């Protein structure tokens, strides 16, 4: 909770000063997004009101919809479940909310975090559905890592999770799936897409709703919510969440982008919102070829290829050729066909870049 304490208002300096919003109470914290010194109640209000505003202005939900909350037990999805049920009650959204968790089969990590989600089910009174890789694909991540080692494990996990969430949401007959991706996650993805030169994904990764042409649209109500504020909110509200990192988490490129954004935020808190704004304002060239949408011949899941990425990876695992789905074949002009295919498939499955990120400590 170092972040929370570091960002809290200095009690000595704050003496005599009053909350810059209500002007009545002593400030309890310095708001990371604006650096205003405010009291706890005003923090809860601005935090929740901003999310409500984002939901209303972007028409994220319709009255009567069944909404599945992707719940990992981590801070983002726990706060999302809590705030969404509060707002649903307070503003009469008329939503049926559910928790949806994916059990990747990672001993010592997911089994523990799922215990948190099971407690959240009771605490918030939201029905919980758990779908597992073992049931869906016949493999746990522990078994996959045993077979393929610690390289590319997150590619398997990311592809399987994306589909598992869709399948779980379909079992719940959900109209929408919401995820806890926050402003820092989105800024980080914008930056990574710039660093990779992936212009096609650059503008899409900032969409608040994606997959409207797919089986179940996904929304990110925390698109403008700062990670530090989510941590503060969870801390002050004493929410029950799990904060351990995945034991197979890679310490890679994304980590550096994350640190860079945190450094920028320290100097200028608005930097996170400005990076998102930049991503939103990029335009894809009209010459960019967008592939035709289709369905996987084997499982029926959305895919631009004959077989979806999950089926391809699974076939590789089952045949003892784990590199099959991530193999690198050169095309006639030296272009990496797999990279090309992957890029096209990402263009197809609108907004998939965020979901396919290597999660590390991130929620899905
Ligand atoms: Fe899966 Fe995330 Fe762990 Fe990678 S870090 S294996 S994507 S849970
Ligand atoms: Zn106040
Ligand atoms: Zn398939």
Would you state the pLDDT for residue 359?
59
Q: What is the 59 CA–ligand 2 centroid distance (Å)?
A: 29
Name the strand (E) or helix (H) holding 157.
Answer: helix 153-171
In a domain, 44, yes or no: no
CA 332 to ligand 1 centroid distance, Å: 34
Task: Residue 136: name the closest of 93, 87, 103, 184 by CA.
Answer: 103
Helices (H) and strands (E) in the chain, counts: 16, 10
pLDDT at 176 over 70: yes
pLDDT at 106 over 90: yes
Q: What is the pLDDT of residue 196?
A: 85
The answer to whether residues 261 and 320 belong to one domain is no
In this structure, the answer to whether residues 271 and 155 fall within a common structural domain is yes
Distance 74 CA to ligand 1 centre (A): 13
Which range is least confidently modeled, 137-146, 166-175, 288-297, 346-355? 346-355
- Whether residues 71 and 198 fall in one domain: yes
List residues, by chain if needed, whose CB lies under 5 Å from ion ligand 3: 296, 298-299, 301, 308, 311
Asked if residue 321 and residue 271 are part of one domain, the reply reads no
* CA pair distance 7, 184, nearest whole angstrom: 17
Residue of the nearest CA to atom 5 in ligand 1? 249
Residues 211 and 314 in one domain: no
Ligand 1 atom, smallest distance to 245 CA:
5
Give the closest residue (by CA) to ligand 1 atom 2: 359
Claim to verify: residue 169 and residue 310 sit in the same structural domain: no
Pair 269, 307 in one domain: no
One domain, residues 111 and 201: yes
pLDDT of residue 291: 60
Tell me the mean pLDDT in the region 322-342. 48
**Same domain as 319, residue 198:** no
Q: Which residues are annotated as a binding site?
A: 70-72, 76, 102, 180, 185
Same domain, residue pair 144 and 277: yes
Residue 335 makes CB contacts below 8 A (sequence gap 6+) with: none
**pLDDT on residue 325:** 75
Claim to verify: residue 307 and residue 228 sit in the same structural domain: no
Mean pLDDT of 188-196: 90
Q: What is the pLDDT of residue 326?
A: 75
346 part of a folded domain: no
Mean of per-residue pLDDT scores for the chain? 85
The string of pLDDT tens digits covering residues 196-255 is 888 777 878 899 999 887 789 999 999 999 999 999 999 999 999 998 888 898 766 778
Chosen domain end from 221, 253, 285: 285
pLDDT the model gives residue 198 = 81
The number of distinct structural domains making up the chain is 2
Residues 141 and 275 in one domain: yes
Closest atom of ligand 1 relative to the 362 alpha carbon: 2
| Residue ranges making up the domain that contains 278 | 50-285
């Amino acid at each position: 909770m170092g972040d929370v304490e570091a960002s809290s208002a200095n009690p000595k300096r704050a003496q005599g000063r009053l909350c810059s919003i209500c002007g009545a109470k002593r400030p309890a914290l310095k708001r990371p997004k604006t650096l205003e010194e405010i009291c706890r109640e005003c923090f809860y209000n601005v935090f929740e009101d901003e999310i409500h505003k984002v939901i209303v202005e972007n028409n994220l939900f319709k009255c009567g919809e069944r909404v599945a909350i992707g719940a990992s037990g981590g801070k983002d999805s726990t706060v999302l479940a809590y705030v969404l049920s509060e707002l649903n009650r307070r503003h009469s959204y008329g939503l049926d909310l559910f928790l949806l968790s994916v059990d990747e089969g990672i001993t010592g990590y997911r089994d523990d975090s799922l215990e948190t989600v099971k407690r959240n089910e009771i605490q918030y009174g939201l029905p919980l559905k758990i779908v597992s890789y073992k049931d869906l694909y016949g493999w746990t991540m522990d078994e996959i890592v045993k077979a393929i080692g610690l390289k590319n494990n997150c590619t398997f996990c990311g592809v399987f999770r994306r589909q598992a969430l869709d399948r779980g949401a379909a079992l719940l007959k959900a109209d929408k799936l919401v995820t806890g991706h926050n402003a820092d996650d989105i800024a980080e993805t914008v930056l990574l897409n710039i660093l990779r030169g992936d212009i096609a994904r650059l503008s899409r990764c900032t969409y608040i709703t994606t997959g409207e042409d797919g089986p179940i649209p996904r929304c990110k109500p925390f698109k403008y919510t700062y990670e530090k504020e989510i941590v503060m909110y969870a801390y002050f509200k004493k929410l029950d969440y799990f904060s351990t990192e995945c034991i197979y988490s890679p310490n890679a490129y994304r980590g550096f982008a994350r640190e860079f954004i945190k450094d920028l935020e320290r100097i200028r808190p608005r930097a996170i919102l400005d990076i998102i704004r930049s991503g939103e304002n990029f335009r894809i060239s009209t010459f960019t070829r967008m592939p035709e949408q289709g369905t996987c011949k084997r499982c029926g899941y959305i895919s631009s290829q004959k077989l979806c990425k999950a089926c391809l990876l699974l076939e590789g695992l089952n045949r003892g050729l784990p590199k099959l789905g991530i193999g690198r074949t050169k095309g006639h002009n030296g272009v990496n066909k797999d990279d090309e295919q992957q890029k096209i498939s990402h263009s197809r499955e609108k907004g998939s870049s965020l979901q396919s990120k290597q999660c590390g400590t991130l929620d899905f």
